[in-house]
């Protein structure tokens, strides 16, 4: 396997995946590179893993090549796990993350509950004629009391990682590749692919 299609158009995600897998000689293409568009796939799963599998297997059938899909999001304990599997669609897909991030800070502040939260990343690798491989990892931290940092995307500026005293959006790429949910999942995937 020398080529994997990533079922995403998120350039941040694609760069992270490419950086992790290039030294075992795997080329990464986005779904847009292959199909010319991002197919609208209905994520009907009730967990991150189920949604990742739906995306990976649907695209694999379209392109007949190995496809990697991930479903990831922010789980906030004070908000009963929200935004969770709805992270990208929470408050509407057109709503900016500045607004979403401030809303989460406000809700957590108002709740009076612990600020604990985690990023979850589920990955599914669908390979024609083989059983789909799934991996799930977490990145434990808390909701910060303000938005901080320019690195990363999405909820990174409000996700505080106590061991480094930084938000995910102020971490370097090296630090993220050491600690993040996606990096941990990719490390597992890397081992699996190396054995293949």
* 71 in a known ligand binding site: yes
Structural contact between residues 20 and 178, judged by C-beta atoms closer than 8 angstroms: no
Structural contact between residues 74 and 87, judged by C-beta atoms closer than 8 angstroms: yes
* 156 in a known ligand binding site: yes
Alpha helices in 37-195 (DSSP H): 48-63, 97-111, 173-179, 181-195
The contacts of residue 17 (CB under 8 Å, 6+ apart) are 6, 28, 68, 182, 186
* 176 in a known ligand binding site: yes
* 42 in a known ligand binding site: yes
* 111 in a known ligand binding site: no
State yes or no: is 71 an active-site residue. yes
* 72 in a known ligand binding site: yes
Q: Name the catalytic one among 33, 40, 71, 98.
A: 71
Structural contact between residues 147 and 158, judged by C-beta atoms closer than 8 angstroms: yes
* 144 in a known ligand binding site: no
Residues marked as binding for Mg(2+)? Answer: 42, 71
The binding site for substrate comprises 8-13, 72, 153-156, 176, 181-182
Q: Which positions are annotated as active-site residues?
A: 71
Query: Which residues carry a binding-site annotation?
Result: 8-13, 42, 71-72, 153-156, 176, 181-182
């Amino acid at each position: 396997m020398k080529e994997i299609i990533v079922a995403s158009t998120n350039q941040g995600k694609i760069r992270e995946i490419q950086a992790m897998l290039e030294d075992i000689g795997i080329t990464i293409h986005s779904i847009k590179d292959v199909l010319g568009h991002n197919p609208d796939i209905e994520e009907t799963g009730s967990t991150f893993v189920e949604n990742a599998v739906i995306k990976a297997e649907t695209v694999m059938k379209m392109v007949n090549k190995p496809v990697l899909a991930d479903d990831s999001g922010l789980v906030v304990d004070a908000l009963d796990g929200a935004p969770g599997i709805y992270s990208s669609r929470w408050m509407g897909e057109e709503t900016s993350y500045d607004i979403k991030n401030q809303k989460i800070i406000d809700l957590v502040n108002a709740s009076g509950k612990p600020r604990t939260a985690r990023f979850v990343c589920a990955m599914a690798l669908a390979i024609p004629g083989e059983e789909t491989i799934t991996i799930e990892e977490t990145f434990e931290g808390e909701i910060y009391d303000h938005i901080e940092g320019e690195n990363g995307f999405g909820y990174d500026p409000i996700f505080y990682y106590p061991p480094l005293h930084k938000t995910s959006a102020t971490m370097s790429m090296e630090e993220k590749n050491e600690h993040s949910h996606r990096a941990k999942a990719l490390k597992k995937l890397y081992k699996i692919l190396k054995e293949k």
